[in-house]
Structure 1
Amino acid sequence: MKRFIPAWYSQNQWWESKAEPFYRKRSVTEFDDLISLMSMHHKNEYNFEMIILNYSPDLRTFLHRHELFESNYWSVFDEIQGFTHQTPQSVDYRQLHWPKETEFIYTPYLIRAITSENSYSNIYFSQDGYLIWIEDFEHKVKRQRYVFDDRGFLSSVIAFDDKGAPSNIRYMTQDGDWILQENVNDGAVEVNDHYQHHFNCRRYLSMEEVIQEHLNHYRENNIDDCDPIIVASDIRHNQLIAETFKPQHLCFSIFQQRNKGVPKTEFETMVGGQSWLVDTLESERILEAYKEKNDLTQRLMRITPFDAQVMPNISNQLYETYIGLWIDGLTDTQVKQIMSQLVHYMEKKEAIRIVLLTKLERHHVSTWLLNEITIINDRFNDKSEVPEEISELMKDEEAIVYVELKSVPFEMDIVEAIATLRIVIDLSVEPDLFLQICCLGAGLPQINRNHTDYVEDGTNGLVITTENDLIAALDYYLEHLKHWNRSYAYSQRLAKNYTSKKIIEQLDQLIEGDRDGT
């Protein structure tokens, strides 16, 4: 049975909980290579298990968001705290033991419980509506945070010092007793005397030592040496995992969004695995060079972690022709050059509309580009050349959006955005992988600067050398329905090579190696 070890970690100490109140909007997607690969296995009813190394009191609701709730998992902290698999259950804050005179004040973001003249508690909820924290304040200084598990019980208690800084964390059992106490300042972990028999030591230098001890114990008693282990490569846990599992069936997965600017030190921690999985041409090139330089024998394969699925597209039902331009990975100079050509294109073809796609939030986009969008829309909506009597009739009409900026930080945003597009332009050095797979599923032609596995030049897309070739490439598909239809048909056929079953077969081939053992 395959085991997957994800890296759904905090930016601080990697084993910390990532649960946050609903109003702290995520600016980056949770979706990654292992979520996608596990979803494929789940969809095709292949048996697998995920191994969760970090403290995750919100794990059930996280898995539910990604349609993995019914999947098997083993959690280090569940093992430590004695928690069992249960259906999520929200805690009703009103049934907790509040002082008799407590007054509740409701705000859009939290509930405040006034418990006395100098004390109050803030009650926080997750995006799924579950109680996640209660923080106690005395004289406006934070004193304690009670962290609740999404299965309906108290999971940990964080104590704060006189300045409101965290000092220690107590991890609780299901009976409400603490089992581990972590010193936030030096990282040392102390075991409660009542539970000493569950541990090899009474005190540990860090939580990593506790995690590795329990992971070793689980491997010895529950995992066969021949079970494949697919690991989301992360420098913070790679060495720990390489020391725990034998390399023969250990596979590290490099994912562009997680491993951007991967340092050489991370490659060194991956040497303990027999197989490496990459998602982009650039990552493949870098790892091949590293292998050759260090005379390594690891098997390396590039496969997409995203399976191609049929995507809805209604572009042929619209009067307007929407052109999608992916601006991430382009310099301001490149965007200016491309926009200049597209504006000229719109001047000649009144039905053309431009949709700029980016994973950035609007407030992170260059000010000049936002201003340029406004200028272009105002210019094309200018009624100065329209006769006065017609202009009067148009006063109440809503302005036409000729150029639109769409923020698509999450995968579903991209799926929604391409539903109305007729063609997609991505001239970055490494075209966005998920966008390309979506275009395959929707049958959309793509214009790129570099060759990829997902575009056959002249068939379901064009590879151009400079921005000056862009207009001719657009005309090739927008002026000739035959070319667009050919692209659509070819994309649908090519997408069959990237179904979930095909990707699983490729993964199995990588892990097991060729029949001759090489």
Structure 2
Amino acid sequence: MLFFIPAWYQQNQWCENEQSWTVRRMHTEFDDTVKQIQLFHRNRACPYRIMLLGFAPNFRHFLHRQGVYRAPYWSCFDAIQEVRRKKTAVLSFHNLKWPEGIEFVYTPFVVTAMLEKEKYAQIDFGEDGNPIRIDLYQKGQIRRCNLYDDRGFVSGTVIYEEGRPFYQDYLTESGTWKMRHFLRDGHVEINGKCPEYLLKYQDEAAKKRFERLRYDSMEQVIAEVLNAYLNMTEAGDIFCVAMHGRHTGLLKEILKEKKLILSFFEDRYSVSAASEELELIREADYLIADSRKNVDKIRQDLGLPLENIMAIPPYDSRVDAGISQQFGVQKILVSVDGLEDEIFAELIGLLGRYLCRNEKAQVHLFTRRAEYDRKQKILEQAQRELSRAGLEEGWAAREERGQIAENDLEPGEQVPVRFFVEQCVDELSVSKCMREQRILVDLRENPELYLQIAAISIGIPQIVRTRTEFVEHGRNGILLKDIKKLPGALHYYLNGFKNWNQAMVCSYELVREYTTGELLKKWRKVLDSVGGDSNLTAGGRGLS
């Protein structure tokens, strides 16, 4: 069995609560573990299980969003709370016990419960319309917050004192409090009337008594329950851990005698030779990074040769012909998140001067950040730099404002908008945006992995200033050492189709190296090296 231990934590806490549908998603849910699970789940590569350490009352909805609803999992908090249900259930807030005379006020965002003309409760819903939390008020101040599990029961409740969270109870399916976490000093108390937790492994189930009724931290409780569960697993089982500061300290002790793979993704976990988790890294059977650049960085940071390390991109590639040629304009996608101000300023000036040469070109400034005013801030910054460069700052006006302004101008004075902002948080919106682009420009020190794989899948050229395995200089892109040469690089690919078509052919050749089948071969090599249960070759497609 292959166990995936993910790093799905909210604000570095042992929880991942569902987000209200009215709140803009501030970060992508995709990471290495999500993609690894999708890879193994869809190809039935080998028996696997997710090992969830955090409190996630709406975990089934999360799995559904990732397309792996039936993925097998073990939840540490389900064990603590003795939860036996697995399937989601419909829960209507109308079926809850409300005081006599309650009145529900429906707004476009939440449902407010009013009692005697005062706010009694506020009901928040998840993306699928299920109630996820109900805040209860007294004299205008929040006193309690109930957290609802997508399996149809109250999973937790937070008690407030003077408007501040005081403690959180974790409940059984019947509503009995099992564990109380005091939020100010972090200590945990177990209910002495039901001091047991439930362990289930395959067809085996057993109750086990907590070793004590008071713990100094939540981490101590999780460590005890997790250790008891690991004692039920088999010697040949392999554990793939997403490296994250929240759980590495705990796992370095508990997984000492286990077959261990560590997975590094982007900058989620900072490695250093002085790191207290260095022992965990040294004892791991294999390390996986999302790119060759990250492999080199890990080796350099640790000062170790590390032979047992491999780059396995979490995203697979597939030919997905773009539609950029169907447009009368040439869209240039430019990544701006994390760019130094000086580079951004120079970049806007260079792009503006290139637009003077190429009337068909448009610049689409790409951001992953989800702040409400992010688009406006980027455009305002672009306007300032265009003005400093002596160019038309109206090129970067907000589109709707630009259209209004044009009504006040003479026909010959109208200023077309040529700088746009693409704000894409999740991978679906990124893919949709990428299919319309003619070329990708990513001049950050670390180009985004997903954008690069999407670029080779769609077949568009890339201009970068850092060498990666996804760009072959002069073929499917240009390695730009001097940013001042950007206009020439753009001209090379956008002045006709000859060079652009060659880049597309080269991109599709690179696609073959990162297909699902190739990624599975890499995993086969890793698992063979680690060793373990012979059942790892079982399943529909298998890791052969």
- Say yes or no: TM over 0.5: yes
The 8 Å contact of residues 32 and 265 in structure 2, kept in 1 or not, is answered as yes
Q: Please state whether the residue corresponding to 1:136 is helix, strand or coil.
A: strand
Does residue 179 of structure 2 align to residue 180 of structure 1?
yes
Partner residue of 1:378? 394
What pairs with 1:255-334 in structure 2 (closer than 5 Å)? 255-259=265-269, 264-265=274-275, 267-268=277-278, 269-292=280-303, 299-334=308-343
**Paired residues, number:** 501
Partner residue of 1:239? 249
Partner residue of 1:388? none
In 1, Cα distance between the equivalents of 2:411 and 2:125?
Answer: 46
Does residue 167 of structure 2 align to residue 168 of structure 1?
yes
In structure 2, the CA distance between the partners of 1:298 and 1:485, relative to structure 1 (3 Å rule), is: closer
Task: For 1:254, give the aligned amino acid.
Answer: F
Partner residue of 1:369? 382
In structure 2, the CA distance between the partners of 1:379 and 1:249, relative to structure 1 (3 Å rule), is: closer
Q: Please state whether the residue corresponding to 1:420 is helix, strand or coil.
A: coil
Task: For 1:219, give the aligned amino acid.
Answer: L
In structure 2, the CA distance between the partners of 1:399 and 1:153, relative to structure 1 (3 Å rule), is: farther
Task: For 2:382, give the aligned amino acid.
Answer: L
Q: Please state whether the residue corresponding to 2:193 is helix, strand or coil.
A: helix
In 2, Cα distance between the equivalents of 1:153 and 1:173?
Answer: 9
Cα distance, 1:202 vs structure 2: 2.0
Q: Please state whether the residue corresponding to 1:4 is helix, strand or coil.
A: strand
Partner residue of 1:498? 514
Does residue 368 of structure 2 align to residue 359 of structure 1?
yes
Partner residue of 1:483? 499
Partner residue of 1:65? 65
Task: For 1:182, give the aligned amino acid.
Answer: H
Unaligned stretches of 5+ in structure 2? Answer: 197-208, 398-406, 532-544
The 8 Å contact of residues 459 and 487 in structure 1, kept in 2 or not, is answered as yes
In 1, Cα distance between the equivalents of 2:118 and 2:530?
Answer: 70
In 1, Cα distance between the equivalents of 2:160 and 2:413?
Answer: 58
Aligned to 2:461, which of 439, 445, 448?
445
Deviations 1:295-318 (A, max 9, x none): x75722222111113334111111
> Which stretch of the first structure deviates more once superposed, 421-430 or 363-372?
363-372
Cα distance, 1:53 vs structure 2: 0.3
In 2, Cα distance between the equivalents of 1:308 and 1:398?
Answer: 43
Cα distance, 1:395 vs structure 2: 5.9
Partner residue of 2:125? 125
Q: Please state whether the residue corresponding to 1:459 is helix, strand or coil.
A: coil
Task: For 2:53, give the aligned amino acid.
Answer: L
In structure 2, the CA distance between the partners of 1:315 and 1:260, relative to structure 1 (3 Å rule), is: farther
What pairs with 1:29-108 in structure 2 (closer than 5 Å)? 29-46=28-45, 47-108=47-108
Partner residue of 1:385? none
In 1, Cα distance between the equivalents of 2:351 and 2:182?
Answer: 58
Comparing both chains, which one has the higher relative contact order based on Cα–Cα distances under 8 Å and sequence gaps of 6 or more? 2
In structure 2, the CA distance between the partners of 1:307 and 1:99, relative to structure 1 (3 Å rule), is: same
Partner residue of 2:472? 456
Deviations 1:180-215 (A, max 9, x none): 112222222222223224322222222211111111
> Which stretch of the first structure deviates more once superposed, 242-251 or 98-107?
242-251
Q: Please state whether the residue corresponding to 2:435 is helix, strand or coil.
A: helix
In 2, Cα distance between the equivalents of 1:473 and 1:173?
Answer: 62
In 2, Cα distance between the equivalents of 1:392 and 1:241?
Answer: 65
Deviations 1:137-169 (A, max 9, x none): 1111211111110111111121111x1211121
Does residue 357 of structure 2 align to residue 348 of structure 1?
yes
Q: Percent identity?
A: 30
In structure 2, the CA distance between the partners of 1:17 and 1:481, relative to structure 1 (3 Å rule), is: closer
In 1, Cα distance between the equivalents of 2:215 and 2:3?
Answer: 27
In 2, Cα distance between the equivalents of 1:149 and 1:396?
Answer: 61
Does residue 444 of structure 2 align to residue 433 of structure 1?
no
In structure 2, the CA distance between the partners of 1:44 and 1:448, relative to structure 1 (3 Å rule), is: same
In structure 2, the CA distance between the partners of 1:363 and 1:330, relative to structure 1 (3 Å rule), is: same
Q: Please state whether the residue corresponding to 1:258 is helix, strand or coil.
A: coil
Aligned to 2:426, which of 402, 406, 410?
410
Cα distance, 1:286 vs structure 2: 3.1
Q: Please state whether the residue corresponding to 2:373 is helix, strand or coil.
A: helix
Partner residue of 1:9? 9
Aligned to 2:260, which of 239, 245, 250?
250
Q: Please state whether the residue corresponding to 2:231 is helix, strand or coil.
A: helix
Unaligned stretches of 5+ in structure 1? Answer: 382-390
The 8 Å contact of residues 348 and 385 in structure 2, kept in 1 or not, is answered as no
Partner residue of 1:208? 219
In 1, Cα distance between the equivalents of 2:179 and 2:488?
Answer: 66
In 2, Cα distance between the equivalents of 1:503 and 1:331?
Answer: 34
In 1, Cα distance between the equivalents of 2:153 and 2:99?
Answer: 20
Q: Please state whether the residue corresponding to 2:438 is helix, strand or coil.
A: strand
Deviations 1:481-508 (A, max 9, x none): 2221121112112111111232232133
Deviations 1:390-430 (A, max 9, x none): x9998699974311111122222221111111111111112
The 8 Å contact of residues 331 and 439 in structure 2, kept in 1 or not, is answered as yes
> Which stretch of the first structure deviates more once superposed, 112-121 or 135-144?
112-121
The 8 Å contact of residues 274 and 298 in structure 1, kept in 2 or not, is answered as no
Deviations 1:99-148 (A, max 9, x none): 12111112222211123466611111112211011111111121111111
In structure 2, the CA distance between the partners of 1:151 and 1:395, relative to structure 1 (3 Å rule), is: farther
Partner residue of 1:220? 231
In 2, Cα distance between the equivalents of 1:299 and 1:483?
Answer: 39
Partner residue of 1:145? 145
Cα distance, 1:320 vs structure 2: 1.0
In structure 2, the CA distance between the partners of 1:297 and 1:343, relative to structure 1 (3 Å rule), is: closer
In 2, Cα distance between the equivalents of 1:320 and 1:373?
Answer: 21
Task: For 1:211, give the aligned amino acid.
Answer: I
Task: For 2:44, give the aligned amino acid.
Answer: E
In structure 2, the CA distance between the partners of 1:379 and 1:511, relative to structure 1 (3 Å rule), is: closer
In 1, Cα distance between the equivalents of 2:253 and 2:396?
Answer: 63
Deviations 1:241-289 (A, max 9, x none): 2222245621111111523687953652534422221224443233212
> Which stretch of the first structure deviates more once superposed, 273-282 or 176-185?
273-282
In structure 2, the CA distance between the partners of 1:380 and 1:473, relative to structure 1 (3 Å rule), is: same
Task: For 2:529, give the aligned amino acid.
Answer: G
In 2, Cα distance between the equivalents of 1:206 and 1:251?
Answer: 27
In 1, Cα distance between the equivalents of 2:176 and 2:408?
Answer: 75
Cα distance, 1:231 vs structure 2: 0.7
The 8 Å contact of residues 333 and 440 in structure 2, kept in 1 or not, is answered as yes
Q: Please state whether the residue corresponding to 1:469 is helix, strand or coil.
A: helix
Q: Please state whether the residue corresponding to 2:524 is helix, strand or coil.
A: helix
In 1, Cα distance between the equivalents of 2:87 and 2:75?
Answer: 15
The 8 Å contact of residues 104 and 112 in structure 1, kept in 2 or not, is answered as yes
